[in-house]
Amino acid sequence: MRNLREDHDKTQQQIAEVLGTSQTMYSRYERGVNEMPIRCLLTLCEYYHVSADYLLGLAENQHKKEKDPGRDKETAEGRGTKKNG
């Protein structure tokens, strides 16, 4: 989170204000001393335009994936029952 914040030239105080918390508490989130509430995680995702997976260190690509309407259609069609025949 620190790298992302610094890449956007933001201070801990500025991000704390976005989250509605104190600079001290945000610092504790950033250092891993306290767990960040999910509402704060979601707020940061929207603020930075990144995925939660990226913020949590589960993905290397920081950008949110766009939904692929074609894939959703294929998945829905694949759920149908097979006809014997």
Domains detected in the chain: 2-61 (1.10.260.40)
Closest C-alpha among 70, 74, 42 to residue 55:
42
Where does the pLDDT of residue 75 fall: very low under 50, low under 70, confident under 90, or very high at 90 and above?
A: very low
- Residues 45/51, Cβ–Cβ less than 8 Å: yes
Closest C-alpha among 80, 1, 31, 74 to residue 10:
1
pLDDT digit string, tens, across residues 35-53: 999 999 999 999 999 999 9
